[in-house]
Structure 1
């Protein structure tokens, strides 16, 4: 009996396929990638159909284009009968005027199309909401209701890819670390949840920020350790801090991104865990001299940090990770 986590190669977007169960399999999709991944999203649906299964739940963590456009492009050209339920904080949104591809009108059209296709829509999705699927429990730990209300405000200037430093060593970045949390309304409203299946707890952090996740963990999973964590916001240094890594208690992590990940985030993981393993759906570090000699001798060669390209993670529920 396995829980399969497939981190799709959705370019710099995100799409994760969970498949679990004994005789009867359940499928949960987390986000749908950018427009470039529309064909990839369609292939996932076709594969599930060939298996004579259904998409029990599609979780659109938030409406940034790199998470939602794969599905948006798909729904208008397909009947979507296989998709039974959707989580989405997108009803009544009046933002995405400057920085995003999705205008308020397009989001409204998407919600209308979901309802037109008679797919069960759960909105809003706030902390404390819980759903059980095929023996698994999915419990939302963020966002707060106030964060969803703030989606009506315009986004401040934000650029994920500024200030990447990979010339410095992991140790030096950690010793000089200054965490500056992002404060964008869209990502603060991102759905963040914990999947409990058999004896495993797996946290999917969407694009949530560290302080909100820590608050949710304290409220719903106080002193409980996670087995594996999907790191927030493609590994952005503005979403994951050392306090969060320690609070999560995991030593295995997932990062979904095609281009280079902020090295500050990797430094925090490597130094806050006695031993850590990071699964990535792309190899973004090998050709860029991302890890210098000090990194390799101190972390990689010593076994303190393991990083690999692997987009299908199979977890045995009989044994502890």
Structure 2
């Protein structure tokens, strides 16, 4: 059995995957949320401790603040070693610029703290890497070495801005204008993309990766794979979810980790490319006058779009 908990990490990510075996349960945490999530991250770790279990693997999909800062306080204060292994692509962090959604100091502080606590850190984590513990297998299908090195050597000259600035569309889904612009962020493209496999079930976690990177990775390593659940990249951003990616993802359920309402163009793409789409959300961002009457008739009442609020309840597979 697999339990998945998508914690309410505001606009960040923190996902707990627990694989239950007869001999020993295996815990994998993917990202640790924002700085404001620090107390909840501490509670998560304490829950695992109270189960008399360990964090077998802590994965930082990439180095943006909304994925790494939540655990810094915990690592700084705790002396008891419960984390067995950490993955993070932090090499070359000295050339990261503050124009991005991360800080050189935060990445360096985290890596230094992990070293001081004698927690094994593995870097770089690139495509082809495999990790096996008990009946759990993780296959890393991205990033490529080129994507990781680009972050480490070229981002200091980037002219990208922190957020894609645009006016929020609030009309009917059917009337939204759809012009896809790929995410230009080098740090997002360097996200760890990985497949967790247990008991013949496969889960795909994409970090904040670009749609194009995910498609290439799937074509290369998982051409025929079907996934029980896929975590949508970059909190469901329209810049990371292309129609090509939607067609390529072989699953019925998608995790959306954010307290921010999705852009309606994302829902348009899903509704036009798939018969039905079920979104598993850790916040009910659609409850406050998000769907118009036309949206409800066309998409919700017809089950083209199924909005499922999971909160922080465990998804059991």
* 2:22 equivalent to 1:19: no
Instruction: Report 1:216-231 matches (<5 A).
Output: 216-231=217-232
* 2:72 equivalent to 1:72: yes
CA contact (8 A) 1:232 1:240 kept: yes
2:212 corresponds in structure 1 to 211
Per the TM alignment, residue 161 of structure 1 is displaced from its structure 2 partner at its CA by: 5.5
The total of aligned residue pairs comes to: 312
Task: Return 5+ residue gaps in structure 2 as ranges.
Answer: none
Q: Deviations over 1:149-186 (max 9, x none)?
A: 1123224323446336442332333xx42211011111
Deviates more, 1:203-212 or 1:102-111: 102-111
Separation in 1, partners of 2:167, 2:291: 13
Which of 129, 148, 172 is 1:169 aligned to? 172
Separation in 1, partners of 2:80, 2:92: 23
TM-score, normalising length: structure 1? 0.92
SS where residue 213 of structure 2 aligns?
A: helix
TM-score, normalising length: structure 2? 0.93
Deviates more, 1:273-282 or 1:221-230: 221-230
Deviates more, 1:260-269 or 1:157-166: 157-166
1:297 corresponds in structure 2 to 297
Per the TM alignment, residue 72 of structure 1 is displaced from its structure 2 partner at its CA by: 1.9
* 2:12 equivalent to 1:38: no
Separation in 2, partners of 1:11, 1:31: 13
Deviates more, 1:25-34 or 1:259-268: 259-268
Q: Deviations over 1:217-244 (max 9, x none)?
A: 0010012222211000011100011111
1:191 corresponds in structure 2 to 192
SS where residue 39 of structure 1 aligns?
A: helix
2:8 corresponds in structure 1 to 9
Q: CA RMSD in A?
A: 1.7
Separation in 1, partners of 2:97, 2:80: 28
